[in-house]
Amino acid sequence: MSNNEDCCFAKILKVIDLLQRNAEKIEDIDNSCTKPFLGGCPNMACFNTRPVTFYTCQNTPYSINYQVDGQTRCSRVFRVEKVEGCCVTVLLLANNPDTSDCNRPFVSTGQFATINLRCVGVLQCLPDVIVDCL
């Protein structure tokens, strides 16, 4: 058995990572027959992130501290960046102070963390959004 065959969250997160990586390349794709998605994108928001939250088996949300302007803040929403075995590297997201753009409810903190998926009891996906990644 490979290292992540018993880690169902790793499989799900790899799909999310792949979707996000492909979304970042949409601007580089021409409108020919080989376009790897259906429908148009230029006249609508092209989402690039499926935010996720993690919970322990005791239903406690994972929260990770980050620093901004010398202050410690806490994030409970993450963007999948890389999955290796039963670990996921995530970008910590913060609430967007500009609440006028409903497609951009989160902003990048520019800070990352690695989560052991064997310690995760619940994975929750939030609606797809746009995050301006660093």
DSSP3 helix / strand / coil % (the chain, rounded to 5): 15, 35, 45
Q: pLDDT band for position 4 (50/70/90)?
A: very low
Per-residue model confidence (pLDDT) at position 31: 53
For range 16-37, the mean pLDDT: 66
Q: Which domain holds residue 44?
A: 8-125
- Cα dihedral 78→105→97→99 (10° resolution): -170
Query: Does 119 reside within a domain?
Result: yes
Mean per-residue pLDDT over the chain, rounded: 84
Percent of the chain at pLDDT above 90?
Answer: 57
Q: pLDDT band for position 134 (50/70/90)?
A: low
Q: How many CA atoms lie within 13 A of 60 on its CB side?
A: 6
Query: Does 1 reside within a domain?
Result: no
Query: Does 131 reside within a domain?
Result: no
Query: Does 110 reside within a domain?
Result: yes
Q: What is the pLDDT of residues 49-90, one digit of tens each?
A: 999 999 999 999 999 999 988 999 999 999 999 999 999 999
Query: Does 130 reside within a domain?
Result: no
Q: Is the pTM of this model over 0.85?
A: no
Number of domains in the chain: 1
CA 115 from centroid of its chain's CA atoms? 13
71-75 vs 64-68, strand pairing mode: antiparallel
Query: Does 3 reside within a domain?
Result: no
**Cβ contact 110:134 at 8 Å:** yes
Per-residue pLDDT for 44 more than 90?
no
Per-residue model confidence (pLDDT) at position 3: 47
**Cβ contact 132:105 at 8 Å:** no
Q: What is the pLDDT of residues 109-123, one digit of tens each?
A: 999 999 999 999 999
Q: What is the pLDDT of residues 64-74, one digit of tens each?
A: 999 988 999 99
Query: Does 134 reside within a domain?
Result: no
Query: Does 132 reside within a domain?
Result: no
DSSP 8-state symbol, 119: G
Helix (H) or strand (E) segment spanning residue 12: helix 8-24
